[in-house]
Amino acid sequence: MSLTLLLIRHCKSDWTAGAVSDHDRPLNPRGQRDAPRIGAWLRSQGLTPDLVLCSDACRTRQTWDGITSVLPSPLPKLVLSRDFYLAEPAVMLRAIQQVEGAQTVAVVAHSPGIPSLAWDVVEMPPVEPEFGTYPTGAVTVIDFDAEAWADITRGDVRAFVIPRGLPDRD
């Protein structure tokens, strides 16, 4: 059996949003444009997750909302978690390893946790230089040869994309 993990860093946030807290910082216009482009790419690849584990920060929720705006129905189950806000990779990995009944899981969270987790769980990193910087909106698709999420160790990178490398949405 193969399990698929999508590690998604939130899209570009708005640092000029005034006196909001970091947790409440929204996406900027570029981030709002990029999220549906990511969703369109996921749809084109047949990568609709069964479950989404998402930080409860404004920018991660808005990223996921933008992605789902172009995904087919039914939409996946969404679990918002304060524990994923600026989470360490080990926190996210423990949550992923507790998942049951889902073949494809997406995690939408922040840097440095998401890029660090990607490095921790891939057998071999992709050759794209942006994998090292993991820019906003980056997505890594990782396949694991495992029967259960509790058994995952290192997987194979199927794809790594960033919004700048995606075609404009029509």
Each residue's pLDDT tens digit, 122-143: 999 999 999 999 999 999 999 9
In this prediction, the residues of the chain whose per-residue pLDDT falls under 50 are: 170
Considering only CA atoms, which of 58, 3, 2, 4 is closest in space to residue 35? 58
Question: With contact defined as beta carbons under 8 Å apart, do 91 and 119 qualify?
Answer: no
Q: For position 19, what pLDDT does the model report?
A: 63
Q: What is the pLDDT of residue 170?
A: 44
